[in-house]
Amino acid sequence: MAEPKKIILLQLMSNGDCLYATAVARQIKQDYPGCHLTWAIATFCKRIIENNPYVDAVLEIPDVSRATATGIVRRLRKDLAQTDKYGRFDEVIFTQIIDDNLANYDGNVRSAIFRGYGRPITVPVTPVLRLSDTELLRVQEFAVSKKLNTFRNIILFEFAPQSGQVAITPAQAIDIAYRVTENKDTAIILSSNIKIEENGKIIDGSSLTLRETAALTHHCTLLLGCSSGITWISTSDAGKLLPMVQILDPYAYWVNPISRDFERCGLSTDKVIELYNNDNDKIVNCVSAVLNIGFDAARKKYYSPLPLQFKTTGRSIYNMLCLLQFGAILKHIRINISVFGWHPRLILAILVSFIGAPFKLVRNVIQKRLLSKLSS
């Protein structure tokens, strides 16, 4: 009888991306019955997979950041291929969207992560999150202490997103919160790691962890999100999928709108409104419309199609050119044409990235040398 396969999954960060990858872990367990799965993950993200029934062991990788992740992954992949430093594995599965995996990005983070697995995802795509009894009790105590049951509308506001898809300052968030809570029987929970001053209707959610916030969604009626960790943890099997108003910058470096993600996964977008203008008046008016005339009517008034842009394609091709990853570049182009067709903006982004790469490289080298001289 053959020994069970030993598999390692490399998905180091971020919290939202690791949540997507829980479906990959579940798929691995289905595709390789009886296998032993180790997940290599950054220290600051390891709690997101705590108690996950599809993960047998965790390889904690310290000192990971956006700046160091590519180098760490390269060393890790090399060690796994050449030595037994981390143990002997039959399969190494790399899903993080960095290094040559930039080729997998097609305007949607979840599908890019799934593509890194290389086999069909047939299990439910719902992120797997297992909360402890202690975490559930903490959230229940929070709900009681904040008297959440006395409000008709409870808005969970993801006001300090880490995904880089939109920038919201604490002052902007507090202004929105004050204006929205003028609506009778409405409270708003400002959820982040930033402590804010409460007034009974504006509630500080910083005492709860990201995991615990999944349980908090069961006490809420609306999510005001930014397609970051709190948005995606609300879609997990430990959370409650709330009607949501999403604030996004469609021209950010990484674009991962929930509407596109849901459409790719065959999920309904009927309870999603996306605002592509980070303007307090528009945000407040939209949320107020949801509370006063209902979500469906507000959606008809504020829904607009997602603007299509390919900034990430240009930057990804440049990064891969610098590393001479020509095979990955061709793969990236092929994937995006298969998704978007021969869209003029896509073709322009590809051409501009090739033509502009030498000039961009020279500029970056000069800037680095100038900074080096100034700092010495």
* The last residue of a domain, from among 302, 334, 363: 302
> Is 173 part of a structural domain of the chain?
yes
pLDDT in tens, 192-222: 888 888 999 999 999 999 999 999 999 999 9
Q: What is the mean pLDDT of residues 223-243?
A: 95
Residues 361 and 295 in one domain: no
Percent of the chain with pLDDT over 70: 97
- CA within 13 Å, CB half, 364: 9
> Is 128 part of a structural domain of the chain?
no
pLDDT in tens, 250-259: 888 777 899 9
pLDDT in tens, 110-154: 999 999 999 999 999 999 999 999 999 999 999 999 999 999 999
Residues 333 and 288 in one domain: no
Mean pLDDT score across all residues of the chain: 92
Looking at residue 57, which CATH number applies to its domain? 3.40.50.2000
Q: How many helices (H) and strands (E) does the chain have?
A: 13, 10
The contacts of residue 351 (CB under 8 Å, 6+ apart) are none
pLDDT in tens, 303-336: 988 888 898 898 899 999 988 999 999 999 999 9
* The last residue of a domain, from among 253, 268, 302: 302
Residues 70 and 138 in one domain: no
User: In this predicted structure, what is the pLDDT of residue 376?
Assistant: 64
Which tokens belong to 47? Answer: 């709690």
Beta strand pairing call for 36-42 and 6-10: parallel
- Stronger pLDDT, 159 or 49, i.e. the higher one: 49
User: In this predicted structure, what is the pLDDT of residue 363?
Assistant: 81
> Is 49 part of a structural domain of the chain?
yes
Show the domain range for 91.
Answer: 6-117
Residues 157 and 298 in one domain: yes
Residues 159 and 238 in one domain: yes
Percent of the chain with pLDDT over 90: 73
* H or E element that contains 135: helix 133-145
pLDDT score of 161 more than 80 = no
Q: What total number of domains does the chain contain? A: 3
Residues 290 and 181 in one domain: yes
Question: Is residue 105 helix, strand or coil?
Answer: coil
Residues 280 and 142 in one domain: yes
Q: What's this model's pTM, rounded to 2 decimal places?
A: 0.91
Q: What is the mean pLDDT of residues 168-179?
A: 90
Residues 293 and 146 in one domain: yes
User: In this predicted structure, what is the pLDDT of residue 233?
Assistant: 95
